[in-house]
């Protein structure tokens, strides 16, 4: 049996390499199909990693009380005219809620930061309170965070992101050094641990955090305000309903009036991400199926042509003792080999693509299981597209085949 397989394989290889250009053109559909499915899988795998890392920044147990929802179909003008979130809501929410364990404000605007001749434009300036450490994933790699006293007194101290530290303080510690934020001088008291990019879109390390009292005193209350409430993770739904009730009372809303605020959470991003992933997966699957069907039909046609061209050869083999199964195996192996070549070519191109994605877009790698599935698909297409021509070759009458010109 092994000897028969080896013989059929050698005959199939000889036939394929005797018509290299035809074999190459025939496999293009398989190459495109395998490239599509592997690139789609690699892209989704990389997106999953990036998404999980980015979502850890938000925190599963944090609710974000804001003027507007992150994803909404409401009228933009109505949302714009809603009353702003006020800082005094913080103490009242913490007093009235049994689920909120910490709450902090986030006020943000973009501004330039500089030190000497070095400058960074469009940096995110964040005003907050000491509890910000509890309501975010912010970890301090060097120095410390702001204190209650510094917040109450409006001290000019700042905690800077990793990108700012590396850009403005090359080879020296930034602690107790000074930077200018806008026209004001601030003393650096801490550096935030490197966090990377959020969904590959913008850096989380290009920010400076100052006390909320300082932010209001120096920057004239410009920018937006959001409250970050850390809650009991086991009761997130109950906490969201409770905070909604508290906010409605603080806003003075009547029962029939709609909420003029939003309580956002990580789940909103998850819903949007799953919809995007479904769209990418569906498109990739459609292209893959279409390419494999076209490629399979092309291989089947070429195999029929090959059977016709080699009719006399088949007659000779049968005349000297080749059985139907031997002829069937010969052409089936040839079809499978062509498909596997296409699969390997598509897999190689996808691997190169995954390296480029990993280097220039976001961390990504081709999963091994995806490579195995891709080669399995190539094998399946080879069997399906080669079965009909192989049966035709196996059923040829040896006498009629020998007479064929």
What is the predicted pLDDT for the residue at 210?
A: 94
What is the predicted pLDDT for the residue at 223?
A: 60
Residue 128 has pLDDT above 60, yes or no: yes
* Cβ neighbours of 226 (radius 10 Å): 18
- What is the H or E stretch that residue 276 is in? helix 266-309
What is the predicted pLDDT for the residue at 332?
A: 85
**What does pTM read for this prediction?**
0.66
- How many residues are given for the chain? 405
Distances (CA, A) of 189 to 113, 139, 140, 181, 215: 15, 13, 10, 14, 16
Backbone angles phi, psi at 310, to 5 degrees: -110, 25
What is the predicted pLDDT for the residue at 5?
A: 58
pLDDT tens digits along 342-375:
888 888 888 888 888 777 766 677 788 888 888 8
Residue that wins the pLDDT comparison between 9 and 213: 213
pLDDT tens digits along 84-100:
888 888 889 988 888 88
343 close to 375: Cβ distance less than 8 angstroms: yes
> Residue 316 and residue 398: Cα distance in Å, rounded?
7
Residue 4 has pLDDT above 60, yes or no: no
What is the predicted pLDDT for the residue at 138?
A: 80
Residues 6+ apart with CB under 8 A from 301: none
Residue 222 has pLDDT above 80, yes or no: no
Beta bridge partners of 26: none
């Amino acid at each position: 049996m092994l000897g028969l397989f080896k013989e059929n394989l050698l005959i199939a290889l000889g036939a394929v390499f005797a018509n290299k250009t035809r074999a190459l053109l025939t496999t293009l559909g398989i190459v495109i199909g395998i490239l599509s499915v592997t690139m789609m899988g690699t892209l989704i795998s990389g997106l999953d990693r990036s998404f999980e890392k980015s979502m850890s920044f938000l925190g599963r147990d944090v609710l974000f009380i804001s003027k507007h929802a992150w994803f909404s179909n409401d009228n933009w003008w109505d949302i714009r005219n809603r009353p702003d979130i006020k800082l005094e809501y913080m103490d009242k929410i913490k007093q009235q809620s049994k689920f909120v364990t910490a709450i902090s404000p986030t006020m943000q605007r973009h501004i330039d930061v500089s030190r000497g001749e070095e400058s960074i434009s469009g940096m995110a300036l964040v005003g907050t309170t000491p509890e910000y450490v509890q309501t975010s994933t912010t970890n301090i790699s060097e120095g410390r965070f702001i204190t209650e006293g510094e917040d109450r007194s409006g001290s000019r101290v700042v905690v800077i992101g990793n990108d700012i530290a590396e850009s403005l303080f090359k080879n020296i510690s930034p602690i107790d050094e000074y930077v200018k934020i806008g026209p004001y001088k601030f003393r650096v008291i801490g550096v935030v641990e490197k966090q990377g990019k959020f969904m590959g879109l913008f850096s989380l390390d290009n920010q400076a955090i100052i006390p909320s009292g300082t932010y209001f005193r120096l920057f004239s209350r410009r920018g937006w305000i959001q409250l970050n409430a850390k809650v009991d993770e086991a009761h997130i739904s109950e906490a969201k309903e409770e905070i909604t009730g508290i906010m409605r009372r603080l806003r003075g809303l009547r029962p029939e009036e709609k909420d003029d605020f939003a309580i956002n959470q990580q789940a909103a991003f998850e819903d949007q991400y799953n919809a995007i992933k479904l769209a990418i997966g569906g498109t990739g699957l459609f292209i893959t199926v279409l390419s494999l069907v076209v490629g399979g039909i092309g291989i089947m046609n070429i195999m029929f042509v090959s059977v016709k061209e080699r009719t006399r050869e088949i007659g000779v083999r049968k005349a000297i003792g080749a059985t139907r199964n031997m002829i069937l195996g010969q052409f089936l192996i040839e079809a499978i080999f062509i498909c596997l070549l296409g699969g390997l070519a598509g897999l190689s191109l996808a691997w190169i693509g995954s390296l480029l994605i990993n280097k220039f877009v976001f961390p990504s790698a081709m999963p091994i299981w995806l490579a195995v599935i891709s080669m399995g698909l190539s094998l399946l297409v080879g069997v399906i597209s080669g079965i009909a021509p192989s049966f035709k070759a196996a059923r040829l009458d040896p006498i009629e085949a020998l007479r064929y010109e």
